[in-house]
Amino acid sequence: MKKQLLLLTSCALLLSACGRNEVADVSLGLFTTKDVKIDTFTDPVVTGVTCHVASIEANLSLADPSDSSIACRQTGEITPAMIAAIDKSKSGDVVFSKSKSVLFKNMKIRRIFDPSSQTLMYLSYSTKETSGSFKHSLSTVPLWGTKAYVDAAVASQPD
C-alpha cells in the first residue's frame, strides 16, 4: 500500500511539473531565496507569437517583487484569420495570467492590436500596486512581412 501511495504521489508531482511553462531558473545568490524565473508561452490565438517573461520570485517570502520583463517574437506563421479572431478593443485581451503571491497579486499579459502600425503589443503588468507603482513592461510584434499585414495606404484606396 505504501509503495502504491508513493508511486501515485510521484506521478502527481511529475505531471504537475509538466504543466509549468518555466524554461529557466537563475539563483540571485547563495544568501537569498530569490530567483529569476523565465516562463514561456505561445499566444493562444496568434500561435505564431511566443513570449518569454522574466520575473523575480521569492521561494520563502510572502512579499513578491513585481518587476518583470517581457520579450515577444514571431516564431511561426501569423495569418489574417488569426488577426480577425483577436479582440481589437483598446484594452485588448488577457492571454496569460500567473499568481505572484498569496496576497492576491497577479501578473497578467494583454495582447493589444495597433491597427495603424499593424503591430501586436504584449503588455505585462502587476495587478497590485507596489511602492506606489503598478509595474509593467511592453513588447511588440510587427505584422510586417507576414500574411496578416495590411498596407493602410492600399486598404484605404477605392477599387
Q: Sorting pLDDT into bands at 50, 70 and 90, what band is 152?
A: low
Please work out, in degrees rounded to the nearest 5, the angle formed at the alpha carbon of residue 157 by the alpha carbons of 151 and 159: 120
Mean pLDDT across 22-47: 90
Check whether 18 has a pLDDT greater than 50: no
Phi first, then psi, for residue 22 (nearest 5°) are -75, 130
C-alpha cell at 106: 497577479
Instruction: Map out the domains of the chain as residue ranges.
Output: 22-149
Q: Sorting pLDDT into bands at 50, 70 and 90, what band is 154?
A: low
Instruction: Measure CA 58 to chain center.
Output: 19
% of residues, the chain, pLDDT over 70: 70
Query: Is the overall model pTM greater than 0.85, yes or no?
Result: no
Check whether 68 has a pLDDT greater than 90: no
